[in-house]
Structure 1
């Protein structure tokens, strides 16, 4: 009974903070701490994902893992470059968005390549439970909880409870991601995309001028993983793409600490001789078309609300929207009211600014660089 009451209170607490409009770091810190009351853990790691590609955009660590980032590069290559039943990519598509390694492997956790070759020998973990942050068909991230070899493994009840937290965590992540506008004085950034060449041994061979500054923008703070983690994940995904194991081009949209959106691409290079297996990575500031769908999705709109929003962004008035969607003008106004509430705005103009311009308005009026983009 006590465990049931605790679980119910934790679920309620996570749901409340998910709706509180907290910054992403604040939401995750409170939510992850709450989970520990119902599902104890010694370490936890939270990943946020691009909902279009399910690839890493940021990661945070808690407990014994906090401040330990010397193996983050290796983890990114393993997690996003290989597939097993408890990989984030598999759990994201499973009927139940949570799994325990001990349960899936019938107690033989070493059958998981990730546990057998990485988590157990590197950190001494004996079991891992995972849960994807799923809202409908979209996945916004995932959490991994760990226990030591002397601890009891995660049981079915705990994994089932984690699955019940999937939607609240997704809501908290997608709203937390948009909780702040970009800084009014954006940091100086290099002109054009930054380019990195990664060797077959997963070492950076070359980088363009300005690449170090771009990589520095990926650093999010003390509780976060190494700034190169999203890049490592994309390199791993690019190797899968090269082997024909996935048809999704490796790409992720990442928000920096300042609120700026970046787009990171990775692609396998066609090489000869001893340069086989190299991967090129590009990092550049996102243009509006690259983030509009992501921002709109983060508002949690219904399909009809998305239709209305799309027409608003095209400058269509209420009467024309009603005719286009075969709705009454009153129904369109009701949809707009709901959209405004979810986007935390009060007008069409504010909605357009919220979606398009939070990182671009501070630069408007500035001269364009030779790349065709703001300095």
Structure 2
């Protein structure tokens, strides 16, 4: 029987370095820098940048840009990405694609000169090769990374592309955890996230495999709201979630509270601090961008949701299926949204949303909450 091919040892070393970077990072910017340093020996570049994305729209909400384009070049990239006719290999396209990682060369079938981004930014700044990656999970796109090389280097090869794609799960998991923890430390009112730290039980404690080492006051309030029989120190649903995280590294579930409100629980093996599980409880809530759209532009709830899905790159047919309405209803909502936002096309709508709502918040360095939206 033929032996299955194995990945090179260098690939495994790179993945271990990325996992360590994800484990010890304390901020999204620090995470991006650490991951880049972990990849650098295996995917060398001349310049790079990375950014957080709003999972509701795939629009940037901040990031690390000082090692990427010049200030003028970065502004031009944003204008090309969100302010005019769509270029190739956009972040929105990658967020919705199966691969979620691609080179500019592959996207243009080797004719990079056909890309406006190449002609107007990369070439003038002494760059030729570009690799873009969007990192996402079941909730949406959380981050993007852009790697750049000068003309005297080789283009990114398939193994490099594979490695950049392979870090999707640890990177999105780490970023999601950092956003949740940041929100937990920033917000103290009821409705904020709560933290429970679990550790393996001692031999003398036969009731369960895990015991609670710490529970924040907010976490205790949420635990009291869960109508479920107990398994050890926690409700059965959460204890099962923690055991799955101990086995798989990470697990998430939604639980209905006594009040009728839904809670989202994230459990993660706390490998950096020794054996144990961190459990974060927070209210489940929709992305807040629809509320922002409704309040800022006078859109109805459905018009705002259609506009959000347009920003995420969905076609009218896809929006109709997601909202369980006809394509003609979607077109009618879009027409009314265009009138209220004073725009004439989908690209102008996305541009208006990005430059009116995202850019000012990014410049003010407003922190992100656990949904990826600005606090």
- Please report the TM-score for the alignment, with normalisation by the length of structure 2: 0.50
Equivalent residues, number: 224
Query: Which residue among 28, 32, 45 is the counterpart of 2:32?
Result: 28
Contact 2:101 2:134 in 1 (8 A): yes
Shift of 1:60: 0.9
CA deviation vs aligned residue, 1:239-287 (integer Å, no higher than 9, x gap): xxxxxxxxxxxxxxxxxxxx69xxxxxxxxxxxxxxxxxxxxxxxxxx9
Q: CA deviation at 1:347?
A: 11
Name the structure 2 match of 1:203.
Answer: none
Task: Please tell me whether the aligned partners of residues 86 and 101 of structure 1 are also in contact (alpha carbons under 8 angstroms).
Answer: yes
Q: CA deviation at 1:14?
A: 0.8
Name 1:332's counterpart in structure 2.
237
Per the alignment, residue 105 of structure 1 pairs with 108
The equivalent of 2:360 in structure 1 is none
Matched, 1:70 2:109: no
Query: Residue in 2 aligned with 1:139?
Result: 141
Counterpart CA distance in 2 for 1:26 and 1:346 is 23
Equivalents in 2 of 1:73, 1:334: separation in Å? Answer: 48
Q: 2:60 aligns with which of 41, 53, 56?
A: 56
TM-score between both structures, scaled by the size of structure 1: 0.50
Contact preservation (8 Å) 2:73, 2:121? no
Match of 1:124 in 2: 126
Pick aligned residue for 2:166 from 126, 145, 164:
164
Aligned with residue 225 of structure 2, among 317, 322, 327? 317
1:8, distance to aligned residue in structure 2 (A):
1.8
- Determine the C-alpha separation between the residues in 1 that align with 2:161 and 2:62: 24
The structure 1 residue matched to 2:81, chosen from 58, 64, 79, is: 79
Q: Is the 8 A contact 2:142 2:175 kept in 1?
A: yes
Equivalent residue, structure 2, for 1:174: 176
For 1:150, the equivalent position in structure 2 comes to 152
| Equivalent-residue separation in structure 1 for 2:25 and 2:180 (angstroms) | 9
Q: Tell me, in whole angstroms, the C-alpha distance in 1 between the residues paired with 2:238 and 2:105.
A: 52
Specify whether residues 21 and 351 from structure 1 end up closer, same or farther in structure 2 by C-alpha distance, changes over 3 A only: farther
- The alpha-carbon distance between structure 1 residues 181 and 116, as it changes in their structure 2 partners (threshold 3 A), is same
- SS in structure 2 of the partner of residue 73 of structure 1: helix
Tell me which residue corresponds to 2:205: none
State the Cα distance separating 1:41 from its structure 2 match.
0.5
List runs of 5+ in structure 1 lacking aligned partners. Answer: 184-258, 261-286, 297-311, 323-328, 356-375
314 and 182 in structure 1: CA distance in 2 versus 1, 3 angstrom threshold: closer
| Contact kept in structure 2, 1:43 and 1:61, CA below 8 Å | no
Q: Check the 8 A contact 2:228/2:236 in 1, yes or no.
A: no
Call closer, same or farther: CA 1:12–1:288 in 2, change over 3 Å: same
Structure 1 residue 14 and structure 2 residue 21: aligned?
A: no
Contact 2:128 2:150 in 1 (8 A): yes
Q: Is the 8 A contact 1:23 1:179 kept in 2?
A: no
The CA deviation string for residues 318-359 of structure 1, in whole angstroms up to 9 with x for no partner, is 3x356xxxxxx95234157574754999999x9469x9xxxx
CA distance in structure 2 between the partners assigned to 1:102 and 1:333 by the alignment: 47
1:288 shift after superposition? 9.1
Distance in 2, matches of 1:71 and 1:117, equals 8
Q: 1:26, CA displacement in angstroms?
A: 2.0
1:131 and 1:162 in contact (8 A); partners too: yes
Question: Could you say what secondary structure the match of 1:17 adopts?
Answer: helix
- Is this contact kept in 1: 2:28–2:63, CA < 8 A? no
- Residues 1:288 and 1:76: Cα distance change in structure 2 (over 3 Å): farther
CA contact (8 A) 1:340 1:346 kept: no
Name the CA distance, whole Å, in 2 between partners of 1:168 and 1:158: 17
Distance (Å, rounded) in 2 between the aligned partners of 1:164 and 1:107: 24
Which residue pairs with 2:91 in the alignment? 88
1:139, distance to aligned residue in structure 2 (A): 1.1
Distance in 1, matches of 2:93 and 2:31, equals: 25
